[in-house]
Chains A and B, each alone.
Chain A
Amino acid sequence: MNIENKPLIVVENLCKGFEDGEVLKNVSFTIREGDLASIIGPSGCGKSTFLRCLNCLELLDSGSISIAGVTVSRRPGQVPDEKMLDIAHEIRSEVGMVFQSYNLFPHKTIIENIMLAPMVVKKQGKDEAYELAMKLLDKVGLKGFASKYPSTLSGGQGQRAAIARALAMNPRVMLYDEPTSALDPELVGEVLQVMKDLDAEGMTQIIVTHEMKFARDASDYIIFMDNGEIVEYDDGDILFTTPKSERTKAFLRHFVNTGVA
């Protein structure tokens, strides 16, 4: 953690609901450049929705999100216009996202998966995109898998390829939604290691995870969400040892009891 770093993401009074009701209720939150934040919380509390709002896969209902100086804000009931949608698109190109099920493009090889967005979105030349892709594959330890199809990869390899694909767009921040939940336990470590490496390089990252040990050891701070609200966020050790809220205590107790953490 580096106190002097300036805020990279500022979220204020973010609200988001679906047909069946409110999911995020007045969420406010700041993250500084280079930080690694973990989000924990019970199932259905809105963690995924929060991440998806951050990169505008879901457009917020009201509030404002500011990422690297680009701000999308919406008043309650405001109908989104072209300009808001353009900003949403701009934010998406600044943010890399990694999903639980990796979502590689099955009709393309690993290297093509990584080259696609730089070529299509940034209009990079083929050679340039290839070089970058190879560099990223090397970084995530998949150099030998460039011409393989996603269906032939193991879960851990697939997830590392998905991280490389997101990195190819040179994002300011990486979001991960339970990146290791679909993996066999012995494959979890290799993916977490990639995130630790990225943290060492100064990448800003937000990770929704159930890996309590990783959250505690690697994160600059941990966000505990419950029922669509951020209940508390703090340094990992502090939050785990002396949680302020009863809800946090209950949640952590549950994890200790089931032996996950």
Chain B
Amino acid sequence: MKKLGLFLAIIMLIVSSACALQAEEMKELTWGGDSEGGFPYMFPNPQNTDELIGFEVDIVEALAEQMGRKPVYVNNAWENLIPGLNRKLYDISINGLEVTPEHKDVVNFSIPYYKTYLQLAVRKNDNSIKTLEDCKGKKVGTLKESFAQELLEEVGDIDIRTYNVEANTYEDLANGRLDAAFFDHPIALYSAGFNPEIKFVGPEVGELEYAIAIRKEDKELLTEVNKAIVALRDSGKLREIYDRWNLWTPTMAAEFNDYSPSKIEASRYNEWAEAHRPHLTFAKRLDRYKDALPAFGRAAIVTMQVSITAMILAITLGLTLAITRVFAPKWVASIATLYIEVVRGTPVLIQLFFIFYGLPSIGVKFSPFWAGAIGLGLNYAAYEAEIYRSGLFAIPRTQWESALALGMTRWQAMREVILPQAVRVVIPPITNDFISLLKDSSLVSIITMVDLTKAYGQISATYYDYFGPGIIVAIIYLLLGLPFVRFARYTEKRLAAVDKDGKYGHRENIYRSSTRYI
């Protein structure tokens, strides 16, 4: 029996190493995108929020197949896609990246895989607006800091309202808060193409080209990608993708010089339109939220992991800093003080960006998890240090003196009398700090981690709904923090019971100065 087990184990070892070999043969193509990049570019599948779909996802998959590589997705915030590329988080980046002069300065672009334009949309019953010119004196919504905004500004005299979330723009258009909406055609199509209250008007405006970004030094990869794009175009594979997503437009027909009618159904678009026609019933919404719960659950675990790791770091480093400040010689102490002041005086967001994107340029590279945990940990350490320090000073000097007067050494007095009391004093504020760390951990979403906040963005963008998921994610944050809130209250109460004497309050730096000679 034992021998059989051994035999099986050996077989399995051989099989698994063979598999590993096979996997190794297929080179990876890592690609960066933003899962919140938006529809129809890339977005989580509403039916299964773990799956990323979108016409650009289809393109990458076709591209990788053409190149004989295995596509591996790396998530990053859209505005950081290009920095992330140069930081070597991935080989290529694709996510509606426009070929602009600023971009071209820092990365190379493949030949464009898609070309589109800006689309004006108005209410169904509104016949007063047919072109951009007609928008003068009217309220027009568009994406913040976009090419569309620039064009609107050029026309002049338009009351421009900028939005971060396109869904909100079309909602405002439908309910009359706006007179028109002006967006990239794919966004317009997927936001309102199926909305019976809204119609598209006017000619194609402007010209937008999307291409794949590749690091300047990767010249060979650029050639390889360009070859693959051409091959996909010539074999009709790209067109198939655009047909499926209903993105084959006259512009594209001219670009690919292919005026034949579509042979396949716009299946992806139809699914989307079906799911997003306005006025979902409440029950259907609830059903969706239920589908999203596992994704929220996993994100909550990430949030907890980052927060707890960061807190352990903060508590340890904070204690070191506090002890340094209180006991070390003045000049060493002043280094700790400087650290604390610098960290507390700069935004944690900058610190995270610096650690994740800045440090690699001097060769220090952390995974997103460790960058997040270390960033938050270093930041909170400064606050913890101050809590410890005030905890030490909250213990009256007379306690220190009576311990010494009983013949204890400095170390014995610290260990037996001061620290046990200081710990009681600092537990409530440290617990409170952990609760705010839990909330601040939402910042790691900007360095590519899918924590609760990121999950909220993804799921909301998917469902076109920021309301329900917002409430869900708020409840999860509250539930995560609740045990700690209770614990802080409990310790505060206990502390209040012990310190009825209320003779606390500190005098100068007693641990350094007046007991130096003791």
Q: Does residue B499 face the partner (Cβ distance < 8 Å to A)?
A: yes
Q: How far is the CA of A105 from the CA of B401 in the complex (A)?
A: 11
Tell me the interface secondary structure of chain B in the complex.
helix
- Beyond A88-B518, A99-B398, is A107–B406 a contact (Cβ under 8 Å)? no
Contacting residues of chain B (281-339) with chain A, CB-CB under 8 angstroms: none
- Residues in A whose Cβ lies below 8 Å from that of B403: 105
Q: How far is the CA of A255 from the CA of B407 in the complex (A)?
A: 37
Q: Which of A85, A89, A151 contacts B499 (CB 8 A)?
A: A151
Q: Do A107 and B405 touch across chains, with their CB atoms under 8 A apart?
A: no
Q: Which of B396, B412, B420, B518 contacts A121 (CB 8 A)?
A: B412
- Residues in A whose Cβ lies below 8 Å from that of B421: 105-107
Q: Does residue A103 face the partner (Cβ distance < 8 Å to B)?
A: yes
Binary contact readout B393-414 vs A (1 if CB under 8 angstroms, 0 otherwise): 0001011011111111100100
Q: Do B406 and A166 touch across chains, with their CB atoms under 8 A apart?
A: yes
Q: Do B405 and A97 touch across chains, with their CB atoms under 8 A apart?
A: yes
Q: Do A57 and B498 touch across chains, with their CB atoms under 8 A apart?
A: no
- Beyond A59-B518, A151-B500, is A103–B398 a contact (Cβ under 8 Å)? yes
Q: Does residue B440 face the partner (Cβ distance < 8 Å to A)?
A: no
Contacting residues of chain B (415-463) with chain A, CB-CB under 8 angstroms: 416-417, 420-421, 424
Q: Do B498 and A151 touch across chains, with their CB atoms under 8 A apart?
A: yes
Q: Does residue B220 face the partner (Cβ distance < 8 Å to A)?
A: no
Q: Do A103 and B518 touch across chains, with their CB atoms under 8 A apart?
A: no
Max chain A C-beta neighbours (<10 A), residue from B401, B406, B498, B514: B406
Q: How far is the CA of A205 from the CA of B162 in the complex (A)?
A: 84
- Total A-B pairs, Cβ < 8 A: 76
Q: Do B500 and A169 touch across chains, with their CB atoms under 8 A apart?
A: no
Q: How far is the CA of A162 from the CA of B406 in the complex (A)?
A: 11
Q: Do A151 and B501 touch across chains, with their CB atoms under 8 A apart?
A: yes
Q: Does residue B2 face the partner (Cβ distance < 8 Å to A)?
A: no
Q: How far is the CA of A149 from the CA of B498 in the complex (A)?
A: 8
Q: Does residue A160 face the partner (Cβ distance < 8 Å to B)?
A: no
- Residues in B whose Cβ lies below 8 Å from that of A95: 405
Contacting residues of chain A (183-215) with chain B, CB-CB under 8 angstroms: none
Q: Does residue B517 face the partner (Cβ distance < 8 Å to A)?
A: yes
Chain A, residue nearest B498 (CB): A106
Q: Does residue A56 face the partner (Cβ distance < 8 Å to B)?
A: yes
- Residues in A whose Cβ lies below 8 Å from that of B409: 89
B402 to chain A, nearest CB (A): 4
- Beyond A56-B518, A116-B416, is A92–B498 a contact (Cβ under 8 Å)? no
- Beyond A85-B518, A120-B412, is A57–B401 a contact (Cβ under 8 Å)? yes
Q: Does residue A165 face the partner (Cβ distance < 8 Å to B)?
A: yes
Q: Does residue B503 face the partner (Cβ distance < 8 Å to A)?
A: yes
Q: How far is the CA of A101 from the CA of B420 in the complex (A)?
A: 20
B506 to chain A, nearest CB (A): 15
Q: Which of A85, A107, A149, A169 contacts B407 (CB 8 A)?
A: A169
- Residues in A whose Cβ lies below 8 Å from that of B501: 106, 150-151
Contacting residues of chain A (58-101) with chain B, CB-CB under 8 angstroms: 58-59, 80, 85, 88-89, 92-93, 95-97, 99, 101
Q: Do B407 and A93 touch across chains, with their CB atoms under 8 A apart?
A: yes
- Residues in A whose Cβ lies below 8 Å from that of B416: 116, 120
B396 to chain A, nearest CB (A): 8
- Residues in B whose Cβ lies below 8 Å from that of A101: 398, 503
Q: How far is the CA of A151 from the CA of B517 in the complex (A)?
A: 32
Q: Does residue A248 face the partner (Cβ distance < 8 Å to B)?
A: no
- Beyond A121-B408, A149-B498, A151-B498, is A57–B518 a contact (Cβ under 8 Å)? yes
Q: How far is the CA of A95 from the CA of B406 in the complex (A)?
A: 8
A6 to chain B, nearest CB (A): 24
A144 to chain B, nearest CB (A): 20
B399 to chain A, nearest CB (A): 6
Q: How far is the CA of A99 from the CA of B400 in the complex (A)?
A: 12
- Residues in A whose Cβ lies below 8 Å from that of B405: 55, 57, 92, 95-97, 166
Q: Do B406 and A165 touch across chains, with their CB atoms under 8 A apart?
A: yes
Q: Which of B396, B402, B420, B500 contacts A107 (CB 8 A)?
A: B420
Q: How far is the CA of A58 from the CA of B409 in the complex (A)?
A: 15
Task: Report which A residues bind B (CB closer than 8 A).
Answer: 55-59, 80, 85, 88-89, 92-93, 95-97, 99, 101, 103, 105-107, 116-117, 120-121, 149-151, 162, 165-166, 169
CB pairs A–B below 8 angstroms (26 shown): A56-B518, A57-B404, A57-B405, A59-B518, A88-B517, A89-B518, A92-B405, A103-B396, A103-B398, A105-B402, A105-B403, A105-B421, A106-B498, A106-B501, A107-B420, A107-B424, A116-B406, A117-B407, A117-B408, A120-B412, A121-B408, A121-B412, A150-B501, A151-B498, A151-B499, A165-B406
List the 9 closest pairs (A to B, CB-CB), nearest first.
A93-B407, A117-B406, A97-B405, A103-B402, A151-B500, A59-B517, A103-B398, A121-B407, A80-B517
Instruction: Known A-B contacts: A116-B417, A151-B497. Give 14 more (CB < 8 A).
Output: A55-B405, A56-B518, A57-B518, A58-B514, A59-B518, A92-B406, A101-B503, A103-B399, A103-B401, A105-B403, A106-B421, A106-B499, A107-B498, A120-B416
